[in-house]
């Protein structure tokens, strides 16, 4: 399995990685679904843009607890670092991530498409000005814009919002550009991100999936299913890639 996956990656013209919350679990960030999933404790409604508009303070109190109290503390794990190495070695050309934790960039990956935005900035609902979260005091909720007094929201895609550009276009372009996708730690349940792997497969891409549990892709899209945690699987994959091919 690892040998086959390594061979596909090394022979690919353009290998792209597609990651979800699972790759950050070993950094201490809970996933949204499954064991210890955030949606087991909190209502996903807090991430609905209409709900946020009507329950701004309550939503912000939850965001501060589940995201901002750890944001900046959590560190990339082995899987993030190996992906950054693979990019340096031209084995991987881009990372499309659904995650908003900034860990791929922190680990050194350069070509990262943050499909759902990022926690590192807040945006004003009034004048659309963007602020670094490190410049905003989150003791006072909801945070307000210093320019127009509008409400600031996390610069991440809420249900009902559009995908940020250029991340969206760059990600969808990989459907016809990439001939290999490595899916790591995603249930494949949230549109429109979740259509990318299947569409790439229909265009002839080989699909390698790393996840300790089956996902929406496993029985329909995935060619090689590596049933393993991200960091363990990435280490084994790199060992295979580094083996001299006889
Ligand atoms: N290594 C790899 N995968 C793991 C690990 C691990 N150590 N631990 C858990 N997983 C897998 C789970 O089996 C699951 O398939 O990670 C996946 C996490 O699934 P979700 O929480 O649904 O995360 P994701 O697919 O990224 O969710 C997509 O949903 O709520 C929205 O915007 C949010 O971006 C998120 C989107």
Q: Where does the pLDDT of residue 246 fall: very low under 50, low under 70, confident under 90, or very high at 90 and above? A: low
Q: What is the pLDDT of residue 71?
A: 77
Pocket probe for ligand 1: among 37, 187, 188, 227, the residue whose CB has the most ligand atoms within 8 Å is 187
What share of the chain has pLDDT > 90, as a percent? 94
Q: Report the alpha-carbon angle 233-111-163, nearest 5.
A: 100
Q: Where does the pLDDT of residue 41 fall: very low under 50, low under 70, confident under 90, or very high at 90 and above? A: very high
Residues having CB within 6 Å of any atom of ligand 1? 20-23, 25-26, 31-34, 37, 98, 116, 185-187, 189-190, 211-213, 215, 229-230
Q: From atom 28 of ligand 1, which residue's Cα is the shortest distance away?
A: 190
Query: What value does the mean pLDDT take over residues 139-166?
Result: 96
70 or 30, higher pLDDT: 30
Is the pLDDT confidence value at 48 over 90? yes
Does residue 53 have a cis bond before it (omega within 30 degrees)?
A: no
Query: What value does the mean pLDDT take over residues 45-72?
Result: 92
Q: What is the pLDDT of residue 3?
A: 97
Q: Are 13 and 206 in contact (CB under 8 A)?
A: no
Query: What value does the mean pLDDT take over residues 189-217?
Result: 97
Q: Which ligand 1 atom minimizes the distance to the CA of 79?
A: 1
Pocket probe for ligand 1: among 62, 79, 104, 185, the residue whose CB has the most ligand atoms within 8 Å is 185
Query: What value does the mean pLDDT take over residues 26-53?
Result: 93
Query: What value does the mean pLDDT take over residues 200-204?
Result: 97
Q: What is the pLDDT of residue 69?
A: 87
Is the pLDDT confidence value at 172 over 90? yes
CA-closest candidate to residue 96, choices 204, 211, 14: 14
If you average pLDDT over every residue of the chain, what do you get? 96
Query: What value does the mean pLDDT take over residues 183-188?
Result: 98
Distance 33 CA to ligand 1 centre (A): 6
Instruction: Please identify which of the residues 113, 116, 139, 170 carries the catalytic annotation.
Output: 116
Distance 187 CA to ligand 1 centre (A): 5
Give the integer Cα–Cα distance in Å for 32 and 197. Answer: 20
pLDDT tens profile 84-140: 999 999 999 999 999 999 999 999 999 999 999 999 999 999 999 999 999 999 999
116 among known catalytic residues: yes
Query: What value does the mean pLDDT take over residues 151-165?
Result: 95
Pocket probe for ligand 1: among 20, 158, 168, 189, the residue whose CB has the most ligand atoms within 8 Å is 20
Q: From atom 15 of ligand 1, which residue's Cα is the shortest distance away?
A: 187
Q: What is the pLDDT of residue 236?
A: 98
Query: What value does the mean pLDDT take over residues 210-214?
Result: 98
In order of their start, the domains of the chain are 1-27+76-116+163-246 (3.40.50.1220)
Distance 184 CA to ligand 1 centre (A): 8
Q: What is the pLDDT of residue 177?
A: 97
């Amino acid at each position: 399995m690892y040998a086959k996956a390594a061979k596909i990656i090394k022979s690919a013209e353009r290998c792209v990685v597609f990651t979800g919350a699972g790759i950050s679990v070993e950094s201490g960030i809970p996933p949204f679904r499954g064991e210890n999933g955030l949606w087991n404790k909190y209502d996903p409604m807090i991430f609905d843009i209409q709900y946020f508009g009507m329950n701004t303070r309550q939503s912000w109190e939850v965001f501060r607890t589940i995201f901002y109290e750890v944001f900046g503390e959590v560190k990339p794990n082995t899987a993030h670092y190996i992906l950054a190495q693979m990019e340096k070695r031209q084995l991987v050309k881009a990372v499309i991530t659904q995650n908003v934790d900034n860990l791929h960039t922190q680990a050194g990956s350069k070509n990262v498409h943050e499909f759902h935005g990022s926690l590192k900035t807040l945006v004003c609902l009034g004048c659309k000005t963007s602020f670094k979260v490190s410049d905003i005091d989150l003791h006072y909720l909801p945070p307000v814009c210093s320019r127009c007094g509008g409400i600031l929201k996390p610069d991440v895609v809420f249900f009902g919002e559009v995908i940020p550009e250029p991340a969206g276009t760059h990600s969808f372009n990989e459907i016809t550009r990439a001939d290999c996708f490595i899916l790591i730690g995603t249930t494949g349940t949230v549109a429109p991100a979740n259509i990318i792997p299947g569409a790439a497969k229909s265009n002839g891409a080989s699909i390698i999936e790393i996840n300790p549990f089956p996902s929406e892709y496993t029985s329909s899209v995935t060619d090689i299913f590596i049933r393993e945690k991200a960091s363990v699987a990435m280490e084994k994959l790199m060992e295979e890639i580094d083996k001299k091919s006889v």
